[in-house]
Structure 1
Amino acid sequence: MSSDPSRPTRLRRARALGDRWLEEAQLARPGWAIGSLLLLCAMIVGASVIPVPYVVERPGPAVDVLGEYEEEQILVISGAETHPTEGELMMTTVSVDGGPGYTVTPVEVIRAWFDRSQAVLPRESVFPEGQTREQTTLTNTASMSTSQQGAVAVALDALDIEYEPAVLVAGVEEEGPADGTLEPGDVIVSVGGQTSADLEGFRTLIRAADPAGPVAMTVRRDGEELELEVPAEEADGTARLGIVLSDGYEFPFEVDLAVGDIGGPSAGMIFSLAVYDELTPGALTGGQSIAGTGTIAADGGVGGIGGIRQKMVGASDTGADFFLAPAANCQEVIGYEPDGLEVVAVETFDQAVEATETIAETGSTEGLVTCEDVIEK
């Protein structure tokens, strides 16, 4: 057998090259690891701050309508006999993160998914696509103004107090043409020297006005008629004032409800109860802390609302012992009542008054309709 004297040399060289490659790879590995870790961290941080198309509903404050909000008395009735009251009638609210002009991140969404007091919803299910922050504010303000008007009317109906229908300014767009000239609550008397018997008639008169403006309008504010020159802008060939008109009422006395920048129609029932309370002798609540929510219809019907679970939490956190919930929301209520909060289901204003009076007299909800009773029907 013959042998190859060069073989050991080639093996040693191959081993030396392999050892050198391995050594260099080991030296480079920490750099690769650090680079990969930094890349991963950057991806995580980026994903945590990228806006997502969702909104997060959280419990908002519960506000006593019989008391003050932002150092201002909420309910003020002038020109009618009112009566001292006590206890609390709390309107409840929902704080919404992620609306027009605002965003939420994946981290906030994930955190909300694991919190029973919060809710995650697609943005388009809450806010129309393309709606701006200013449009959202105007819509909420108009809804609140219309709700307050309807609430007062329902309370006066229950007391057989007469009032007159009217067309009013429900909202004024911030920095819009009419901002600073018209105010929410103004009753429209005439536009361009002409009057109308209904809402659509006044809308037609405004659209027919000179887009270059100003538009001559007469409004009634705090019982006084004002002749105004309202700035306008052109929009699709017609005059635009940046206001929302709605059907409303002129009452035989002044009723002011001041709730700052809180918007929406869901406090209607509580507003009605508060007005009814102040216009009738004695404390409707009997000194109890009662919260609630629900829209109010012209016939006194109490309608369902969004965010009922968050509103119950907000009421409980604020100290309410009882909660008046629309019967239409009962499916969402059961199993989510905060400890210590007794919930009563109501379908009409009359039922809400009866429930409040019963709680005042007995300090309990015994004998009143619960959400379990509604679901079992």
Structure 2
Amino acid sequence: MLASTLVLITLLCVGVLLPVPYSEMSPGPTVNTLGEADGEPVLQISGRETYPTSGHLNMTTVRVTSADYRMNIVEAVYGWLAHDNVVVPHDTLYPDGKTEEQSTQENAEEFSQSQESAKVAALGELGVPVTTRVVVASVQKDSPAEGTLHAGDVIKAVDGTPVTQPDDVAKQVVKRKPGQKVVFTIVPAKDAAAAEKAGKAPTTTRNVTITTAKSPEGDRAIVGIRAGTDHVFPFTIDIKLADVGGPSAGLMFALGIVDKLTPGELTDGKFIAGTGTIDEKGKVGPIGGIDMKLVGARNAGARYFLTPADNCAAAATDTPDGLALIKVDTIDDATKSLEKLRKGDLASLPRCTTS
């Protein structure tokens, strides 16, 4: 018995001390996009009439262990046995040796982009026009454009050819050979910001000439920028939410904006949660961690869960008791389903199935 006890103690010590290449995912907190977070409204709209709301349109999250956390074998086994948690290979969450700082930055960028897309999608659903423009999203260090172009500069044309989409920039640049000059017609970022603040369209442009360089991946010409899109909204929409990352709250932000900008209430006082990325045209995309988001929503008190169509089959295989899954493919699908809920027309709701 003494020998067996010593062996058991040794195994327990090894289990506690021996790290394994796994990470853990678990249900995270939910936030009502119609409510407050840290004492201030999540959605803040000014310059446009808003209307009272009630109920819940909760975004859901997943909590994950950090990139530098080293799980031991005892924790891994416990996670595998826990129904609401998922243990996955460390590289699944942090591929290519991604650090915690890199992951946090990437999630913050995705979260910021999802907010912009949510605003555009919501206003599109309401028929409110939004001006879209091509801008310099980032400038590569030690590139030909460094010091000449800056993040936020509005790109109007390249070599005299008007630019309407981010891809248009590269299409014009690669027409040049490395070492040749290319001319950008821009509105400097500070001028564009000043015009937007004054509620006017920027009128001052200037030409910037840049000598192209050879791409490290081939013989094509580059200037070392990443082009993106920026939007000019007819009024101010701010989303105030800290310590959240990733793109999966897009749908719920968009619905919250729609609710605040329209008379009546989308939820009719009901507790509705959901998830899903959203693009500027209102298309809802799939997300990760759907099973844990369902658990988080149920634990928070949700009765209905707006589920991206591509996540439906997985979600339907293990749905928490008392939670009804509603299938959505676009923001229009979501608003129509919420209308059916208000009318009590539950039979016609698009439901998730395992097939």
TM over 0.5: yes
Larger deviation: 116-125 or 256-265? 116-125
Deviations, residues 182-229 of structure 1 (Å, cap 9, x unaligned): xxxx981369xx999565759x9xxxxxxxxxxxx734669449xxxx
Residue 136 of structure 1: aligned partner: 103
SS of the aligned residue for 1:59 comes to strand
Identity %: 38
Distance 2:325 2:234 in 1: 35
- Match status 1:278 vs 2:245: no
Partner AA of 2:348 in structure 1: G
2:124, 2:281 within 8 Å by CA — same for their partners in 1?
A: no
2:18 equivalent among 21, 26, 50: 50
Deviations, residues 312-339 of structure 1 (Å, cap 9, x unaligned): 1101111111111111112211231111
1:85 equivalent among 44, 53, 62: 53
1:141, 1:170 within 8 Å by CA — same for their partners in 2?
A: no
Runs of 4+ in 1 over 6 A off after TM superposition: 168-171
Distance 2:109 2:136 in 1: 8
Alignment of 1:345-356 (within 5 A): 345-356=327-338
Distance 2:261 2:113 in 1: 21
SS of the aligned residue for 1:287 comes to coil
1:289, 1:322 within 8 Å by CA — same for their partners in 2?
A: yes
Residue 365 of structure 1: aligned partner: 346
SS of the aligned residue for 1:92 comes to strand
Residue 188 of structure 1: aligned partner: 152
Compared CA separation, residues 170 and 95, structure 1 to 2 (3 A): farther
Residue 83 of structure 2: aligned partner: 116
Deviations, residues 278-310 of structure 1 (Å, cap 9, x unaligned): 111111111111000111123322111111110
Partner AA of 2:78 in structure 1: R
Residue 243 of structure 2: aligned partner: 261
Distance 1:42 1:170 in 2: 55
Question: Where does structure 1 lack aligned partners over 5 or more consecutive residues?
Answer: 1-29, 172-185, 205-216, 226-242
Deviations, residues 77-135 of structure 1 (Å, cap 9, x unaligned): 111111111111000000012x3122322222211212222212112222222211111
Residue 321 of structure 1: aligned partner: 303
Distance 1:96 1:170 in 2: 29
TM-score normalised by length of structure 2: 0.75
Distance 2:8 2:118 in 1: 56
Distance 1:168 1:310 in 2: 37
Deviations, residues 250-290 of structure 1 (Å, cap 9, x unaligned): 21111111110100111111111111111111111111110
Larger deviation: 105-114 or 53-62? 105-114
Distance 2:48 2:197 in 1: 18
Distance 1:281 1:302 in 2: 24
Residue 270 of structure 2: aligned partner: 288
Alignment of 1:2-17 (within 5 A): none
Compared CA separation, residues 53 and 248, structure 1 to 2 (3 A): farther
Partner AA of 1:64 in structure 2: N
Name which one, 1 or 2, has greater alpha-carbon Rg: 1
Question: Where does structure 2 lack aligned partners over 5 or more consecutive residues?
Answer: 139-149, 174-187, 199-224
2:137, 2:152 within 8 Å by CA — same for their partners in 1?
A: no
Distance 1:265 1:92 in 2: 11
2:23, 2:88 within 8 Å by CA — same for their partners in 1?
A: yes
Residue 344 of structure 1: aligned partner: 326
Distance 1:371 1:56 in 2: 27
1:142, 1:170 within 8 Å by CA — same for their partners in 2?
A: no
Of structures 1 and 2, the one scoring higher in RCO (CA 8 A, sep 6+) is 2
Compared CA separation, residues 170 and 365, structure 1 to 2 (3 A): farther
Distance 1:41 1:292 in 2: 46
1:292, 1:323 within 8 Å by CA — same for their partners in 2?
A: yes
Compared CA separation, residues 112 and 168, structure 1 to 2 (3 A): farther
Compared CA separation, residues 218 and 298, structure 1 to 2 (3 A): closer
Residue 11 of structure 1: aligned partner: none
Distance 2:249 2:101 in 1: 22
Compared CA separation, residues 315 and 249, structure 1 to 2 (3 A): same
Deviations, residues 28-83 of structure 1 (Å, cap 9, x unaligned): xx9xx47x855652442232233322121101111100111122211001111111
Compared CA separation, residues 90 and 81, structure 1 to 2 (3 A): same
Distance 2:114 2:293 in 1: 18
SS of the aligned residue for 1:334 comes to helix
Alignment of 1:31-180 (within 5 A): 33=2, 37-38=5-6, 40-97=8-65, 99-166=66-133
Distance 2:301 2:49 in 1: 30
Distance 2:12 2:280 in 1: 52
2:250, 2:278 within 8 Å by CA — same for their partners in 1?
A: yes
